[in-house]
Amino acid sequence: YAWDTNEEYLFKAMVAFTMRRYSSKTTTQISNVLLCNVTDRVSFWFVVTDSTKNTTTVPGSEVEAAIRMNRNRINNAFLLSDKTLQFLKIPSTLAPPVEPSTPAWLIVFGVVLCLIVAGIVFLVVAGIQQRKKKNKESTERENLEEKGEVTITIENGTPCETLDLKAGHINGVFSADDERFTSL
């Protein structure tokens, strides 16, 4: 944007504001801020005079400290940043490093803990379902055995085919369609 007398006035007002905030004793006026060697590239130097003695200047260290304290207000007034508005001999104010609200190790710990809890819950639920299934099968077998309808043969821990004793069971290997063989 164009640097004109209104912008100069705003800059002087901001410097006077920072000087007033820095040293609450003095009442620095806009007329106490003097701009010198203003160029088209908006480059200049300025001096702040003492309000009680209009001929003496405020020490540079006080002006630097005041600007350092209120630099963000000056930048915001001109819609600039530390990269675009430079004060020579006054280093930029670096923002403090951003620290996350939760440490990284806590996030990793939480994820691992959730996985462990989910695994335990899965194993418990799977065990309960398996136990219910076994109990249901055993009660069905007991009911059928009590009625005498089924004989259960268990070989090597594996239940074999159940037989219906009333209807009988025909072994397909020995039955033939034609009766070639003599019956015994």
Together in a domain, 103 and 53: no
Residue 92 lies in a domain: no
Together in a domain, 66 and 37: yes
Residue 61 lies in a domain: yes
pLDDT in tens, 149-182: 555 666 666 666 554 555 556 666 666 555 566 5
Residue 169 lies in a domain: no
Residue 37 lies in a domain: yes
Last residue of a domain, one of 78, 107, 128: 78
pLDDT in tens, 42-73: 777 888 888 777 667 888 888 888 888 888 88
pLDDT at 144: 67
Residue 39 lies in a domain: yes
Residue 126 lies in a domain: yes
How many domains does the chain contain in total? 2
Nearest Cα to Cα of residue 67 among 46, 39, 40 = 46
Residue 70 lies in a domain: yes
Kindly tell me if the per-residue pLDDT of 130 is higher than 90.
yes
Higher pLDDT, 35 or 1: 35
Residue 73 lies in a domain: yes
Secondary structure of 124-169 in the HEC alphabet?
A: HHHHHHHHHHHHHHHHHHHHHHHHCCEECCEECCEECCCEECCCCC
Once rounded to an integer, what is the mean pLDDT over residues 72-84?
77
Higher pLDDT, 7 or 54: 7
Together in a domain, 107 and 65: no
Together in a domain, 73 and 131: no
State the residue range of the domain holding 116: 99-139
Q: Can you state the angle between helices 60-69 and 5-22, rounded to 10 degrees?
A: 100
pLDDT at 171: 62
